[in-house]
Each structure stands twice: as structure tokens, then as C-alpha cells.
Structure 1
Amino acid sequence: MKDARSGGAPTVLRVVLGKRLQDLREKAGLSYEDAGRALDVTHATIRRMEKAEVGLKIPYVEKLLQTYGVTEPRDVDGFLTLAREANQPGWWHRFRDVLPEWFSAFVSLEGEANVIRAYEPHYVPGLLQTERYARAVLRAGLPNAPEEEIDRLVDLRAERQRLLTRQDAPLLWVVMDETVLRRPIGQDSSIMREQIDRLMEATGMPQVRLQVMPFSAGPHPAMYGPFHIFRFPIRELPDVVYSESLIGAVYIDQRDDVSTFLEALDRMCAQAAPAHTTRALLGGIRKEI
């Protein structure tokens, strides 16, 4: 998709509509330049609309549909309704005072995916963190942030976790390094005991699959850093890889690049301890804390 260190992060629906506009243009046999002339804008504007890098102006969408030969009132009305929805801020918009723009795309992808796969070498994934663990992790990452900001970010994380209790909750499949469970978080050891209890509970959830990569497994294909892979039940959306750094994130949806991450994660799942042994492994580590 794009490097998301700056600029507006696209919502999932905006990405879908951008791809549908691209399909309509190509089926009509029109170029970016042809579509741009219809709107009296540059070809770059059309390209950015299709790549979900800008909002969808309703008059522009109406004109493009007409240009592409979409004239059936029901089809036009349906597309415009979706375009208006795509321009509406997501629920996370109310956290915009603390939510980095580059991470808002992650929350949108997370909320629409039907499969979320991840490798995490440092921390328990946000969807499975307890309140105290989340607070300690956020404080470590934002040592100079005021307490009010940390409170807001903890609340945001709690809102995201509602995803796992939805009727249509996605499959969450995570491979965690043993380091995640061995590294003390917070000054009170009860924080880690509580967090491991939460992970043990999660192993009993039908939509959650946890695997641990033990130290004894040796090197593996993803030792360079954490990443997420999102898969969607929407035909227009390819798998998307999310990789984060200290200053932003990169979203990748090119098939060959995504395949590299998928292959690495598949190899890691085969190399990690089987999911059915995770609860016992967690229990053993908890006794040591």
C-alpha cells in the first residue's frame, strides 16, 4: 500500500471503492488521462483516488460513474452510499488526539480482517494484553508522555480487544518468541503472572491460536522483527502485511512481497511448539515467575 509515516491512512472501505473505480475504468477502456479530463483534474488525482490516498469527493464519484457507463440508478445510489460511508471516520477517530495517523490504518484493517496472523518477538499482541501489561508497555515506549495520554491509549487498546468477542470475530493466529514470556514487564511480577493467565484463557477461545517459538528452536525466518498479515473476506482486498518501526509503519500488499512473509510465517508455525501444547508451556513459565 504505502509507507505510512505521514499522510492520511486509508480506511478499508476506501481501499475497496478505489479498486472498484479502477476496475470500472479499465472495463470502460479508459486511461488515467481520459478519466482526469472528465473531471478536469490531473491523471495523478485519478490514480490517488484508486489507491485510496485521498478521500472520495461525491461529485467526482458521480461524474466518474457516468463516464464509465454506470447509469443504472440502483447501482449509482449503492456506490455513492458506500462512498459516503468510506468518508466517515471510524470509531477510532475519537482517539485521534493520541492515535498516530500511520496506526489508524492498522486499526481499520484489524477491524475488517477475517484472519489476522502475526509474529511477535517482543511483546504480547495488543489484542491479548491485560490493562496493567498494556500500561507498562506503553509507558516504556512513551517515557515522556503525560499520564492522560497513556490512559487514552490503554482505553484504545481495550476498545480494539472487543473485536475478539464479536459474533464474527476473526481468527487470530500468533507466533510469539519465548522472549515475550520471559521478559519482565513492569516492576511488579504480578503483572506478568496476570498476563500469562490471560494468554492461558485465550488458548481456550475457538478463534485464537497461540504458538510459542522456544529458544531451543534456534534461528528462524523472521528474526529481523515483528509483523502482521491481514486477510479479508472481500474480493477486492489482497492480503496486507504491516511492519512497524519507531517512526511509523509500512503496509505491503504486492503479491510477491506478501508471499515472502506468508512463507516465512508458515515455516515458523511448523518450527514453533504446536498450539495444543501452548497452555501447558504457559503454565510452566508462570510457575517460574
Structure 2
Amino acid sequence: MPTVQLVPTLRRRRLGEALRRYRREAGMSIEQAATVMRWDNSKVSRIENAKAHIRPAEASQLLSVYGVDAPDVLSAIETLARDAGKKGWWTTYGDVLTAGYKDYLSLETDAESTRICTPSLIPGLLQTGAYAREIIGAVSFWRPQEEVHALAEVRKARQSVLTGRVGRPPLNFWAVIHESVLHQRFASQPSLMREQLRHLLDMAVLPNVTIQILPMAMAPNPGMMGLFEVVRFPVPWPTVVLTEHMVGGQFVEGTEHVQIFEASFDRIVAAALPVDQSRETIKRIMEKD
């Protein structure tokens, strides 16, 4: 029977990278680790390269070999080993989603918190279905209508991370939105933006959601450079930053650039209106319509 090739999912890649890092920190070679575990050398290599499965108990034993005994690390590694092969709900959308988008959805599902700056649109996790269809249709203008609707469905389905995840608390979500976004209008649907602003106010009530508005008369700040998102995870997983462009996005992980983005978000928060004033601003603009 031929060997089944495992798909190197994002979770498998993150697990393999973590195990490789702990092995190197322990000063062990692949051969030494394999000898202690009584494995073939290729098994350690394939696990680290996301090409082989490792059971949670094996992952825990391997960490013990590497001298790692922190409970939070053990728990995180075992959980990822258990979930590495699980298929996300988004797999049913097939090729409509790019590989990078699927990776992002996997990150979002596992994340502890997300901090996002959006100078030109409402963040995806806070969009109504109607707003999502208008924005996706405008930005992905080359896609057929059925794909636009599918992407809007995905965007709405993503929002479940804000209200509850099986066995996990909701995602902590902090968004800073430029005031100009609140003044967007859609000629084909005059009531669309009012409904979107009402939705923002409803979401702002959730204890895990923070929304701030960057006022028109703001001090210069890093948010002027464009959309970015800082995604944080439980220990030991590193923080990931996502920047977006017309046909996809780019991940920044494990570099000093991540710290720059985190410091940038802090400066953006300082330039934004306090939470209460932000809600009043949204309400005032909504009631103008």
C-alpha cells in the first residue's frame, strides 16, 4: 500500500517549527533525538517539516527529551498535535479561497486576541453581510458573482470567533477604524451603512470587543500607512502580523518587525478617541441618515 502524503497544514508547520526550535535549544541533533525516542531519523525530520503525524503523547515525550516541562507549553503542543490534522469549516469552499486565506482562517481560529487597524473599511469580523458583499465585489471585481457571495459567506462565518468557540473563550478583538469609513455610502443600498453602523454599536457591547475611532482631526500616526493586523496566541506560539494588498496578504512572524507593528498599534490607540467617545461618534454619524 502506498504511503499517504500528509498535507503540511499551517498547524503542522507551526508544530514542526516549535519542536525543531526546542530540539536545537536542547543542543540535540535529529539523530540524537531519534535515538532517544527509538525512531528512525527520518521520522523526526518529517515531523519538523510538517510531513508526518505525531500523537499528543509522543509530542509530550519528545518535549521531555528536550528538557521542556512548562505546563502551558506542554498543553499547547499536545493540543496542536491533536488538532493538526483537523479540517477547518472553510475547506468546503474549495478553491474559492486562496492558500494564504486558508492559513489566515486557521490562525484566526487558534488565536487568543487580534488587534487591527483599518483606515479605509470596516474590519471583516465586524461587517454585516450586505456590507461584506459590497466591499468584496468592489475589491475582487474580477471574480464571478457566485464567488463574491461565497467569500461574503465565509466572512460572516468567521465572526463566530467573537461569540464563542468550542472549548475555548471568544477571541479578544480590538479594532481601530478611521472616522472617514463611517461616512461611506452605497448608492445602490441607501440604508446599508446605517445598518452597518448599528451593527458596530451592537458588537461594541460585547466584553471581548473594543472599538475605537480615529478622528478626522487626528495626530499623525502609523495607522496612516494602511491596514494591518496583530494576531496573538497562547504560549508558546509567536505573534503573527498580517498586512493586506489587492490580491492577498503577507504574514510577518518571529522577527523584530512584529515588535514594530505592536508598538505602532499602541501609538494608533493613543491617537484614537476613547471607547465611549468612539461609540458616541458612531451613533452621531448613524443618526444623521
Percent of aligned pairs sharing the same letter: 32
Match of 1:276 in 2: 276
Is the CA contact (8 Å cut-off) linking 2:125 and 2:155 kept in structure 1? yes
* Aligned partner letter, 1:205: L
Residue-by-residue CA offset, 1:87-108 (whole Å, 9 max, x unaligned): 2322221122311111112111
Q: CA deviation at 1:21?
A: 4.2
Match of 1:285 in 2: 285
Q: 1:148 to 1:214 in 2, by over 3 A?
A: same
Please identify, of 99-108 and 214-223, the stretch whose mean Cα deviation from structure 2 is larger. 214-223
Within a 5 Å distance, the mapping from 1:242-257 to structure 2 comes to 242-257=242-257
Match of 2:3 in 1: none
Please give the TM-score of this superposition, normalised by the length of structure 1: 0.79
1:137 to 130, 135, 138: 135
**2: CA distance between counterparts of 1:124 and 1:237?**
28
SS of 1:174's equivalent in the other structure is strand
Q: CA deviation at 1:178?
A: 1.2
1:110 to 79, 87, 108: 108
Is the CA contact (8 Å cut-off) linking 2:116 and 2:229 kept in structure 1? yes
Residue-by-residue CA offset, 1:54-105 (whole Å, 9 max, x unaligned): 443459x979x78x958xxxxxxx9899546312322221122311111112
Is the CA contact (8 Å cut-off) linking 1:14 and 1:87 kept in structure 2? no
Q: CA deviation at 1:121?
A: 0.9
2:112 equivalent to 1:96: no
Match of 1:220 in 2: 221
Match of 2:199 in 1: 198
Is the CA contact (8 Å cut-off) linking 2:115 and 2:231 kept in structure 1? yes
Residue-by-residue CA offset, 1:138-157 (whole Å, 9 max, x unaligned): 11112232222122112111
Within a 5 Å distance, the mapping from 1:231-250 to structure 2 comes to 231-233=232-234, 235-250=235-250
**1: CA distance between counterparts of 2:162 and 2:80?**
26
Please give the TM-score of this superposition, normalised by the length of structure 2: 0.79
Aligned length: 268
Q: CA deviation at 1:273?
A: 0.5
**1: CA distance between counterparts of 2:109 and 2:250?**
18
* Aligned partner letter, 2:200: L
Q: CA deviation at 1:247?
A: 3.0
Is the CA contact (8 Å cut-off) linking 2:30 and 2:41 kept in structure 1? no
Within a 5 Å distance, the mapping from 1:64-75 to structure 2 comes to 69=65
SS of 2:222's equivalent in the other structure is coil
Match of 1:56 in 2: 52
2:158 equivalent to 1:160: yes
1:119 to 117, 120, 132: 117
**1: CA distance between counterparts of 2:112 and 2:80?**
20
**2: CA distance between counterparts of 1:84 and 1:124?**
35
Q: CA deviation at 1:176?
A: 0.6
Q: Which runs of 5+ in 1 are unaligned?
A: 1-6, 71-77
Note the aligned Cα RMSD (angstroms).
3.4
Q: 1:69 to 1:181 in 2, by over 3 A?
A: same
Residue-by-residue CA offset, 1:113-154 (whole Å, 9 max, x unaligned): 121100001111111100100110111112232222122112
Higher RCO (C-alpha under 8 Å, 6+ residues apart): 1
**1: CA distance between counterparts of 2:181 and 2:51?**
39
Residue-by-residue CA offset, 1:213-237 (whole Å, 9 max, x unaligned): 011014211311111111112x120
**2: CA distance between counterparts of 1:244 and 1:173?**
18
Match of 1:16 in 2: 15
SS of 1:215's equivalent in the other structure is coil
**1: CA distance between counterparts of 2:228 and 2:276?**
23
Q: Which runs of 5+ in 2 are unaligned?
A: 1-6, 67-75
**2: CA distance between counterparts of 1:269 and 1:188?**
32
Runs of 4+ in 1 over 6 A off after TM superposition: 33-38, 78-81
* Aligned partner letter, 2:249: A
**2: CA distance between counterparts of 1:111 and 1:194?**
27
SS of 1:211's equivalent in the other structure is strand
SS of 2:206's equivalent in the other structure is coil
Is the CA contact (8 Å cut-off) linking 1:240 and 1:258 kept in structure 2? yes
